[in-house]
Amino acid sequence: MTDRTRPLIAHVVFRFDVGGLENGVVNLINHLPEHAYRHVVISLTEVTDFARRLRHPDVRCIALRKPPGHTWRLYPKLLTLLRELRPAIVHTRNLAALEVQPAAWLAGVPVRIHGEHGRDVGDVDGSNRAYQRVRRLYRPFVQHYVALSRDLQQYLVDKVHVPPARITQIYNGVDTQRFHPAADGPVPIDGCPFDPVRHWLVGTVGRMQAVKDQPTLARAFVRVLELQPGLRTRLRLVLVGDGPLKASCEAVLSDSGVRDLAWLPGERTDVPAVMRGLHAFALPSLAEGISNTILEAMASGLPVLATAVGGNADLVEDGVTGALVPPADDQAMARALVALADDPARAAAMGRAGRAAAEERFSLQAMVNAYQGVYDRALAAAGVPTPPPSNAEAVSTPPRAGLVVGRRLDHEERNKR
């Protein structure tokens, strides 16, 4: 196929900035076979320097600069854009981008896919009926759904009433070459005042916003030092990221007199190096889909202490690769953190188990294969030609681990859509 006849995928997000969802989009674009697809990223609001992570120079990033309010006000602009681009697939992500689906239908886009990547702070348990109604309202315009966790897949079936055959559950994948353990144990992090030889570092990485709930980890850290004063000489906290909750974390630590035992460097671009400087990773989120940072920590050989929300239990095997605790419970998180810090050998063994799980179940190639399968089947059902596999792919195609599919679409169901 020529460049102009390769199917174009329009990836639609609310904002193209640092985040797990956006990181997944970048990984997918960077690793799908170049001969198979072209890509464009449409951001309803802004495109930031995060777009530089895209490796292919021909990928356009378009910012629509949507003002507050409903997306339907952008429909004239969206219709013009989609008719100009003529994508074969429009793939929206999360509720904020779902309103683009009717515009894609009006523009005659052959394949319309929607991904559910996680929940926000306004619907941490999926019980928000208004959000359920909105999803049901737009359901007729979506031909196929991708759910990143079993929890989200069940939500689509039970609350949005999507037939299981129209849902594919795909775990995020992690680059196990980019994220890997340090050969001889944790190494110093550039700019960090703590020495991983003398100190035991627990840390987290992510945007400091309400749904991530980093203040609970800060309070848990303070509680640990109250429970085990002896840990004050070696336990240290690393909070990487920026956002509205950073000041709250600073206040928790300062008010308790332990600010000097924590490092809050703001946003970092060297996340693999940060991971290789930690002894354990913590994620205190109130809601999650499939967390990229958990996968990155596992690939880096770290035990993971996470809240038992969303897809976290799909990733962390309690007692084997880490520990799961209730959300917003700093005391439970403190007890689990004490158990890890008091037994570094067991914590390291959990980290090795997590690395093995990342390699076996959550590889980046497995994720890419799964998405390509969804795209190929949807295009075939719509009568859109797809390119043949390259020679390398024809010789050996990696297994599609990590893909959980409902009942395959039969001919009658395709005709109904």
Three-state SS string across the chain, please? CCCCCCCEEEEEECCECCCHHHHHHHHHHHHCCCCCCEEEEEECCCECHHHHHCCCCCCEEEECCCCCCCHHHHHHHHHHHHHHHCCCEEEEEHHHHHCHHHHHHHCCCCEEEEEECCCCHHHCCCCCHHHHHHHHHHHHHCCEEEECCHHHHHHHHHCCCCCHHHEEEECCCECCCCCCCCCCCCCCCCCCCCCCCCCEEEEEECCCCHHHCHHHHHHHHHHHHHHCHHHHHCEEEEEECCCCCHHHHHHHHHHCCCHHHEEEEECCCCHHHHHCCCCEEEECCCCCCCCHHHHHHHHCCCCEEEECCCCHHHHCCECCCEEEECCCCHHHHHHHHHHHHHCHHHHHHHHHHHHHHHHHHCEHHHHHHHHHHHHHHHHHHCCCCCCCCCHHHHHCCCCCCCEEECCCCCHHHHHHC
- For residue 312, the one-letter residue type is N
Query: Two tokens at 67?
Result: 């003002």
Distance from C-alpha of 130 to C-alpha of 362, rounded to nearest angstrom? 33
The span from the CA of 340 to the CA of 287, in Å, is 23
- At residue 362's C-alpha, the angle toward residues 174 and 265, to 5°, is 35
pLDDT for the residue 5: 77
Are 329 and 309 spatial neighbours (Cβ–Cβ below 8 Å)? no
pLDDT in tens, 205-215: 999 999 999 99
* CATH class of segment(s) 8-172+363-416: alpha beta
Fold assignment, 200-361: Rossmann fold (3.40.50)
Residue in the structure block whose two tokens are 């800060």: 218
Q: Which residues of the chain have pLDDT under 50?
A: 1-2, 392-417
Asked, colleague to colleague, whether 8-172+363-416 and 200-361 share their fold, the answer is yes
Pairing relation of β-strands 403-405 and 167-170?
antiparallel
Compute φ and ψ for 367, nearest 5 degrees. Answer: -65, -45
Is the distance from CB of 18 to CB of 48 less than 8 angstroms?
A: yes
Domain boundaries along the sequence of the chain? 8-172+363-416, 200-361
pLDDT reported for residue 3: 64
Q: How many other CB atoms are found less than 10 A from the CB of residue 104? A: 27
Tokens of 59: 């990928």
Taking the chain, what is the end-to-end CA distance rounded to the nearest angstrom? Answer: 28
pLDDT at 389: 67
Task: State residue 386 phi and psi, 5-degree precision.
Answer: -120, 150
- For residues 148 and 249, give the distance between their C-alpha atoms in angstroms, rounded to a whole number: 29
What was the pLDDT predicted at 8?
97
- Rounded to 10 deg, the angle between the 20-31 and 364-381 helix axes is 70
Tell the burial category of 335 from Cβ atoms under 10 Å away from its Cβ (0-12, 13-18, 19+). middle
Q: Which residues fall within 8 angstroms of residue 22, CB to CB, at 6 or more apart?
A: 13, 15, 16, 50
Mean pLDDT score of the chain, rounded to an integer? 91
Burial class (CB in 10 A: 0-12, 13-18, 19+), 198: exposed
* The predicted structure's pLDDT at residue 44: 96
What does the alpha-carbon distance between residue 358 and residue 201 come to, in Å, rounded to a whole number? 22
Dihedral of CA 270/23/159/137: which sign? positive
Cβ atoms within 10 Å, residue 123: 17
